[in-house]
């Protein structure tokens, strides 16, 4: 009995030591030098990002080589990663460190209970904590800028002839039937962002106006689509639209800047295709990255996030993936559009519109 009692006491003591060592430091109260030292001791970090995982695993090798910290990029979806983050927030220590999320996802999180404040980052004052109208309150920063616009084949349309207004676009569609495509917004966001631009042009009378699902003003937008329905090619997804331009079926179609650039850099499509933001405006935004409050490797997560959002890394992300850099000192000369053209970038409408656009497009256009 004495042996069992001693053994039990020893095991409990060991467990206490392990638990204490795991939570013996609070990075929010440490200096940056102390955080860097602790990060090396942790030696590893997880980064949950829901897209381009193979490309990310290659990209972070430079960080691993420079800092001696191993980065794990697990498979996962946006919804799956977010739900796991929420579920693990109830535990003393979770398995997630850094998590990438879409801007709208911050409204689904209890920020203070789920995420770590990021004001310890050396460049925090230069980073963006608001994206697409959603304020992270300092618990997330942007790292991946995305911009919607129109992809086109310059061998089939001159830059001077690109439609810049809906009047010009209507004329082009009428004169070149089936050469302009729009993807079903249920299959990809670029189609939804184009419909959003149409709503701003045909239905929303003033900036900031909100249309409920029963508003007759929606009809103005759907009337335009139905007027040209037989001349517009409806595609299945973002990728489908770009593939059809690449193959010569389409000349113009809504697209994402980073998606088009990424496909070109990987050699999946011709580098001949170009991209522009029309004067009538299409929306841009950025994905957030955050750190779990109960991260297993909090110091390494902060050091990785500092590297990820730095001007140098943002410049390299622009060159490799075509993203819009999120650090003000980054070089975006490898981007598909000029800084001057970005003046036509608009703020996305709220999540209500995204859901309603998907539903009404099916009901009022596809099934009409």
User: Which runs of consecutive H residues, i.e. helices, occur in 117-179?
Assistant: 166-175
Q: How far is CA 175 from CA 27, 148, 228, 246, in A?
A: 62, 24, 11, 21
pLDDT beneath 50: ranges in the chain: 1-22
Query: What span, in angstroms and rounded, lies between the C-alpha atoms of 336 and 186?
Result: 26
Query: What span, in angstroms and rounded, lies between the C-alpha atoms of 198 and 131?
Result: 22
Query: What span, in angstroms and rounded, lies between the C-alpha atoms of 194 and 187?
Result: 13
148-282+336-366 under CATH 1.10.10.10, yes or no: no
CB atoms < 10 A from the CB of 365, how many?
Answer: 20
Helices 351-361 and 218-227: crossing angle, nearest 10°? 40
Could you give the percent of the chain with pLDDT greater than 90?
82
pLDDT at 275: 98
pLDDT at 24: 64
pLDDT at 21: 43
CATH architecture label of 26-145+286-321? 3-Layer(aba) Sandwich (3.40)
Whether 26-145+286-321 shares its CATH topology with 148-282+336-366 is answered yes
The strand pairing partners of 181, in sequence order, are 233
Q: How far is CA 367 from CA 19, 360, 362, 364, in A?
A: 59, 10, 6, 6
Encode pLDDT of 202-261 as tens digits.
999 877 788 888 899 999 999 999 999 999 999 999 999 999 999 999 999 999 999 999
pLDDT at 311: 97
- Cα–chain-centroid distance for residue 11? 46
The strand pairing partners of 131, in sequence order, are 134
Return phi, psi of residue 307, to 5°.
-65, -45
What residue ranges do the domains of the chain occupy? 26-145+286-321, 148-282+336-366
pLDDT at 13: 44
């Amino acid at each position: 009995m004495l042996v069992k009692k001693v053994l039990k006491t020893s095991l409990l003591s060991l467990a206490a030591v392990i638990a204490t060592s795991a939570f013996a430091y609070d990075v929010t109260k440490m200096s940056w030098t102390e955080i860097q030292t602790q990060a090396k001791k942790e030696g590893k970090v997880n980064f949950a990002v829901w897209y381009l995982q193979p490309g990310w695993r290659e990209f972070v090798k430079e960080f691993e080589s420079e800092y001696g910290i191993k980065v794990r990029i697990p498979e996962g979806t946006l919804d799956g990663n977010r739900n796991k983050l929420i579920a693990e927030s109830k535990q003393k220590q979770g398995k997630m460190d850094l998590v990438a999320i879409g801007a709208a996802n911050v409204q689904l999180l209890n920020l203070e209970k789920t995420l770590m404040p990021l004001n310890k980052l050396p460049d925090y004052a230069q980073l963006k904590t608001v994206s697409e109208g959603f304020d992270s309150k300092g618990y997330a920063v942007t790292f991946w800028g995305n911009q919607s616009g129109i992809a086109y084949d310059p061998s089939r349309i001159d830059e001077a002839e690109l439609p810049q207004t809906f009047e010009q676009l209507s004329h082009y569609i009428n004169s070149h039937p089936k050469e302009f495509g729009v993807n079903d917004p249920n299959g990809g966001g670029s189609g939804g962002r184009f419909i959003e631009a149409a709503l701003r042009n045909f239905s929303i009378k003033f900036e900031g106006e909100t249309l409920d699902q029963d508003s007759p003003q929606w009809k103005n937008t759907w009337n335009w689509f139905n007027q040209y329905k037989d001349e517009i090619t409806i595609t299945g997804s973002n990728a489908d639209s770009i593939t059809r331009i690449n193959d010569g079926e389409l000349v113009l179609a809504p697209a994402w800047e980073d998606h088009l650039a990424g496909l070109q850099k990987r050699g999946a499509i011709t580098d001949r295709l170009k991209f522009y933001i029309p004067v009538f405006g299409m929306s841009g935004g950025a994905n957030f990255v955050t750190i779990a409050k109960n991260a297993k490797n909090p110091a390494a997560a902060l050091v990785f996030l500092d590297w990820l959002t730095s001007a140098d890394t943002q410049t390299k992300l622009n060159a490799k993936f075509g993203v819009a850099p999120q650090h003000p000192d980054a070089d975006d000369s490898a981007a598909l559009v000029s800084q001057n053209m970005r003046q036509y970038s608009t703020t996305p409408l709220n999540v209500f519109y995204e859901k309603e656009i998907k539903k009404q497009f099916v009901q009022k256009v596809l099934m009409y």
